[in-house]
């Protein structure tokens, strides 16, 4: 069974590719490497000892994306390809709408043409906007607070309409909470461009000495220590959730949203503490003002995914910190390290 993975070279995509290959699926990766390195896919091959086709392609190039469907016998699609930086989406909204929404429209229109009606879509807990209560269940009110969030919400609505128009579709909307961690080998992980926006890559870059100190955005929220609380989930658990969602879309028609989180929230200070314990490194920090648009507390009610997909996050905060640190310390410059460049050159030769 062949699964097309769009955005498969990225952080969550590469970990999902490993799980898919280990579970015996054939995969095809389509990625334009706008926010990733082909090196990550070389490492997916190394970790699994399996080969697969890679299309260096922009999902906006509809004609060429269609060729991928013509050339391969695809059973289902896992659709990660998208831009994800909230701040950037405020600065260049047209680019975000175009990339995420037009890209998805291209994809599902081609899927319709080729009668491939099974798709797992990367949505986000951001579709809950400013949640009125925690834990957040799937039927909590939806809203968006920035262009990035609106692309996710709009795509969810589009996919709902698509199912209404044709009940042959089978669609899983996966609302991720806060993915961190890395593959336990330390060979693949999160590789942000420039200064990271997210907490964990910022912490690991402070710990390795690339950044001087962490700014904690606000200590006046109504949480246990005043700092923001999030539901951090190990990326390998998240990847495994995609396999469960894939089984679901392969076997049943419908459109369903699922929270993929642990159900447990941790504050920024708790994360710093957990990280310092496992790494043995100090993470200097200072308290700064709240980040505009941030919410105080956000964690999932993951019971629907457990009941309907048979999926539950297994890894705790300690493993998340150990694996984030392993990835960062073994690859201080992500996929740009000397060894990576040599590997990459060999891969291209």
**Stretch of 12-20, 168-176, 213-221, 300-308 contacting ligand UDP, by CB under 6 A:** 213-221
Q: Does 119 bind ligand NAD (CB under 6 A)?
A: no
Q: Which helix (H) or strand (E) holds 321?
A: helix 317-330
> Looking at beta carbons, which residue is closest to ligand UDP?
228
* Binding mask of the shown chain, residues 104 to 143, with x at each position contacting ligand UDP by CB under 6 A: ----------------------------------------
Task: Please report whether residue 34 would count as binding ligand NAD according to CB under 6 A.
Answer: yes
Asked if residue 14 has a cis previous peptide bond (ω within 30° of 0), the answer is no
Q: Which of 274, 280, 260 is nearest to 320 (CA)?
A: 274
Query: Which H helix or E strand runs over 30?
Result: strand 26-31
Write down the least CB distance from residue 306 to ligand NAD, Å.
19
Q: Is 80 in the site for ligand NAD (CB under 6 A)?
A: yes
Per CB under 6 A, does 16 bind ligand NAD?
no
Q: How far apart are CA 8 and CA 318, in angstroms?
A: 26
Nearer to ligand NAD, 98 or 226 (CB): 98
Q: Establish how many alpha carbons lie within 13 A of residue 156's alpha carbon, considering only the half-sphere containing its beta carbon.
A: 23
- Out of 4, 47, 78, 81, point to the residue binding ligand NAD (CB under 6 A): 81
- Tell me the two tokens of residue 152: 């996710």
Q: Is 97 a catalytic residue?
A: no
10 binds, among ligand UDP, ligand NAD, none (CB under 5 to 8 A by kind): ligand NAD
Beta bridge partners of 176: 124, 260
Nearest to 43, CA basis, from 72, 13, 68:
13
Instruction: Output the six-digit token pair for 95.
Output: 């680019």
Question: With left for phi above 0 and alpha for psi between -120 and 50, is residue 186 left, alpha or beta?
Answer: left
344 binds, among ligand UDP, ligand NAD, none (CB under 5 to 8 A by kind): none
Q: How far is the CB of 25 from ligand UDP (least distance, A)?
A: 30
Residue among 98 and 114 whose Cβ is closer to ligand NAD: 98
Q: Which residues of 51-69 are buried (b: 16+ CB within 10 A; e: fewer)?
A: ebebbebbbeeeeebeebb
Contact between 68 and 30 under an 8 Å Cβ cutoff? The reply is yes
Q: How far apart are CA 23 and CA 204, in angstroms?
A: 31
Question: Distance (Å, rounded) from C-alpha 158 to C-alpha 319?
Answer: 37
Displacement of CA 336 from its chain's centroid (Å): 21
Check binding of 181 to ligand NAD (CB under 6 A): no
| Residue 36 contact partner, candidates ligand UDP, ligand NAD, none, CB within 5 to 8 A by sort of partner | ligand NAD
Q: 179 contacts which partner out of ligand UDP, ligand NAD, none, CB within 5 to 8 A by kind?
A: ligand NAD
Report how many residues bind ligand NAD under the rule CB under 6 A: 26
- Contact residue for ligand UDP among 228, 261, 302, 334 (CB under 6 A): 228
Using CB under 6 A, which of 89, 104, 106, 124 touches ligand NAD? 124
> Could you say whether residue 32 binds ligand NAD (CB under 6 A)?
yes
List beta partners, residue 26.
2
Q: Does 230 bind ligand UDP (CB under 6 A)?
A: yes
> In terms of Cα–Cα distance, which of 90, 79, 163 is closest to 124?
79
Note whether 178 binds ligand UDP by CB under 6 A: yes
CB-nearest residue to ligand NAD: 10
Interface with ligand UDP, residue 162, by CB under 6 A: no
Burial class (CB in 10 A: 0-12, 13-18, 19+), 250: middle
Kind of pairing between the strands at 2-6 and 74-79: parallel
Interface with ligand NAD by CB under 6 A: which residues? Answer: 7, 9-13, 31-36, 58-60, 80-84, 99, 103, 122, 124, 176, 179
Q: Which residues bind to ligand UDP, rule: CB under 6 A?
A: 178, 197-199, 202, 214-217, 228, 230, 268, 291, 294
Name the residues annotated as catalytic.
Answer: 148
């Amino acid at each position: 069974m062949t699964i097309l993975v769009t955005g498969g070279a990225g952080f969550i995509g590469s970990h999902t590719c490993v799980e898919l290959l280990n579970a015996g699926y054939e995969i095809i990766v389509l990625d334009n490497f706008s926010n990733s390195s082909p090196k990550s896919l070389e490492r997916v091959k190394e970790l699994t000892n399996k080969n697969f086709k890679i299309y260096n392609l922009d999902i906006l190039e509809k004609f060429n994306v269609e060729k991928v469907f013509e050339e391969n016998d695809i059973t289902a699609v896992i659709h990660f390809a998208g831009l994800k930086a909230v701040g950037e989406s405020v600065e260049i909204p047209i680019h975000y709408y175009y990339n995420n929404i037009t890209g998805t429209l291209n994809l599902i229109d081609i899927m319709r043409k080729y009668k491939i009606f099974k798709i797992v879509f990367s949505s986000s807990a951001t579709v809950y906007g400013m949640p009125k209560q925690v834990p957040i269940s799937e039927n909590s009110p939806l809203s968006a607070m920035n262009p990035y969030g609106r692309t996710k919400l709009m795509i969810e609505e589009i996919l709902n309409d698509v199912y209404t128009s044709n009940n042959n579709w089978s669609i899983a909307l996966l609302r991720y909470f806060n993915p961190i961690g890395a593959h336990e080998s330390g060979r693949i992980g999160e590789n942000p461009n420039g200064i990271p926006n997210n907490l964990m890559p910022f912490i690991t870059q402070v710990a390795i000495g690339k950044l001087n100190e962490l700014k904690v955005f606000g200590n006046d929220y109504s949480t246990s220590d005043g700092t923001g609380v999030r539901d951090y989930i190990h990326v390998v658990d998240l990847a495994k959730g995609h396999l469960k969602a894939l089984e679901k879309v392969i076997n049943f028609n419908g459109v369903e949203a699922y929270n993929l989180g642990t159900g447990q929230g941790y504050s920024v200070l708790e994360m710093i503490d957990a990280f310092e314990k496992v790494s043995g490194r100090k993470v200097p920090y200072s308290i700064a003002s709240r980040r505009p648009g941030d919410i105080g507390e956000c964690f999932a009610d993951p019971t629907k995914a457990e009941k309907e997909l048979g999926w539950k996050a297994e890894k705790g905060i300690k493993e998340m910190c150990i694996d984030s640190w392993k990835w960062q310390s073994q690859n201080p410059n992500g996929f740009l390290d000397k060894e990576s460049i040599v590997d990459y050159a060999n891969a291209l030769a």
